Amino acid sequence: MTELGPTDQTVLVTGGAGFIGSHLVEHLVDDNEVRVLDNLSTGSRENLPADAELIVGDVRSTDDLSRATRDIDVVFHQAAQVSVERSINDPTESFSSNIEPTIDVLELARKRDFRVIVASSCAIYGDPEYTPIDESHRTEPNSPYGLEKLTVDRYTQLYNELYDIETVALRYFNVYGPRQSVGDYSGVISVFREQANAGEDLTVEGDGQQTRDFVHVDDIVRANMYAAETKETGYAYNVGTGSATSIRELAEIIQDLSDSTPDIVHIAERKGDIEESEADLTKIQNKLGFEPRVPLKEGLRSLMN
Ligand code: NAD
């Protein structure tokens, strides 16, 4: 992967000790000076290679952000309150982590002239009117988290228009891969993986016909590297695989791949769950030249082993 992305630059990954951030760090660290700003709330020091500089601090602190962005060429802004459920239970806390810090990063970019790549989300679209979802699909998020991501996604584009800052927002679909945390709020793949490893049944919510676009974290890293290099700044791009997999199908693949051959059981559906999700990748393919490379079965096979 090292052929892609910045070299000999000083880069900051906010949230770099987390799942996606740590993969960005791993990719960048051989050819760049890599700094990480992370409060270790969900991330962990163990996720980081020794050569990365870790500043334990908070993106809600302008002092910490200011210190972390000194002499920086590119910021990959990943730090966020990432749980949809928590954003519903505590919208104020979620708002404070997800909106103002992103504007602060953009403001620092205005003063210090660095590029900013912001982690946005398919949660901005809400319940889709059609699939695959392109970037001009209407945005009606159904959680504070989705609304926060929509807000920063728009700010990211606006800063390019108003102040000529090089910015890109990447709308990640359902990301999976090594180091994804397992817990109440984690994605369905890490839940199934944990269940399979513990020899438990795989619990599918509802009839399992709901679909998602599962994208491997290596593809998310590659999309970020294109974003760091492109001249096509000032846009928001979907990042997924462009194919939909039902949760039932996913459970069956994991069942096949796991030694314990767990049973699949259906439990009550989750209220407000989106029926279908699938990214239209035309824009990122045409403007950035990005193509996803990791087929779901392959990504899952390496994850399960
Ligand atoms: P994660 O929880 O593993 O990573 C988030 C990191 O940010 C953690 O290391 C955490 O300690 C850190 N952090 C949180 N609040 C902070 C704060 N106030 N100050 C400093 N550090 C803070 O989650 P992830 O899945 O790696 O998500 C990374 C980004 O991608 C987030 O912005 C998330 O919203 C976005 N995203 C993720 C997915 C997905 O499927 N995982 C999908 C769409 C968007």
Number of helices (H) and strands (E) in the chain: give both, helices first: 11, 13
How remote is the CA of residue 78 from the centroid of ligand 1, in Å? 5
Atom 44 (ligand 1) nearest CA: 121
Residue 212's φ and ψ, nearest 5 degrees, are: -140, 160
**pLDDT value, residue 273:** 78
Task: Give the 3-state secondary structure of residue 104.
Answer: helix
Q: Out of 25, 82, 95, 105, give the residue to mutate to test ligand 1, the one with the largest number of ligand atoms within 8 Å of its CB.
A: 82
Catalogue all structural domains in the chain, each as residue range(s) with its CATH number.
10-175+215-240+279-293 (3.40.50.720)
Q: Does the beta carbon of 19 sit less than 6 angstroms from any atom of ligand 1?
A: yes
Q: Which of 125, 145, 159, 172 is catalytic?
A: 145
82 CB less than 6 Å from ligand 1? yes
**Is the C-beta atom of 214 inside 6 A of ligand 1?**
no
For 126-167, how does the pLDDT look when each residue is reduced to its tens digit (9 = 90+)? Answer: 999 999 999 999 999 999 999 999 999 999 999 999 999 999
pLDDT tens series, the chain, 305 aa: 457 999 999 999 999 999 999 999 999 999 999 999 999 999 999 999 999 999 999 999 999 999 999 999 999 999 999 999 999 999 999 999 999 999 999 999 999 999 999 999 999 999 999 999 999 999 999 999 999 999 999 999 999 999 999 999 999 999 999 999 876 556 899 999 999 999 999 999 999 999 999 999 999 999 999 999 999 999 999 999 999 999 999 999 999 999 888 999 999 998 777 899 999 999 999 999 999 999 999 999 999 87
Token couple for 18: 């987390």
Spatial CA neighbour of 182 closest among 174, 194, 170: 194
Q: Give the CA distances from residue 182 to residues 195, 205, 296, in Å, rounded to whole numbers and listed in that order.
A: 10, 17, 19
Ligand 1 within 6 A of CB of 74: no
Instruction: Give the single-character DSSP code of 279.
Output: B
Long-range contacts, stretch 102-107, CB < 8 angstroms, 24+ apart:
102/77, 102/152, 102/155, 102/156, 103/152, 103/155, 104/59, 104/62, 104/65, 105/14, 105/59, 105/65, 105/69, 105/75, 105/77, 106/155, 106/156, 106/159, 106/165, 106/167
The DSSP annotation for 207-218 comes to TS--EE-EEEHH
Cα–Cα distance between 160 and 288 in angstroms, integer? Answer: 17
**Does residue 172 have an active-site annotation?**
no
**Does the CB atom of residue 42 touch ligand 1 within 6 A?**
yes
Q: Tell me the CA–centroid distance for residue 168 and ligand 1, in Å.
A: 17
Global pTM reads 0.97
Q: Is 39 in the pocket of ligand 1 (CB under 6 A)?
A: yes
User: What pLDDT does 1 receive?
Assistant: 47
- Tell me the two tokens of residue 200: 């438990």
Return d(Cα 223, Cα 292) in angstroms, integer: 9
- CA 20 – CA 119 distance, rounded (Å): 10
244 vs 79: CA distance, rounded Å: 27
Q: Which residue puts its alpha carbon closest to atom 21 of ligand 1?
A: 38
Q: How far is the centre of ligand 1, averaged over its atoms, from the C-alpha of 230 (Å)?
A: 24
Residues 6+ apart with CB under 8 A from 305: none
Residue 181 CA to ligand 1 center (angstroms) comes to 11
Nearest atom (ligand 1) to Cα of 77:
32
Which residue, judged by its Cα, is nearest atom 34 of ligand 1? 82
Task: Give the pLDDT score at 185.
Answer: 58
Q: Is the CB of 12 under 6 A from ligand 1?
A: no
The SS3 call for residue 239 is strand
CA–CA separation, 300 and 188 (whole Å): 12
Closest among 64, 74, 5, 67 to 40, alpha carbons compared = 64
C-alpha 43 to ligand 1 mean position (Å): 8
Q: Is 170 in the pocket of ligand 1 (CB under 6 A)?
A: no
Say what the pLDDT of residue 183 is: 67
With beta carbons less than 8 A apart as the criterion, state whether 148 and 95 touch.
yes
Cβ-proximal residues to 100 (8 Å cutoff; 6+ apart), any chain? 60
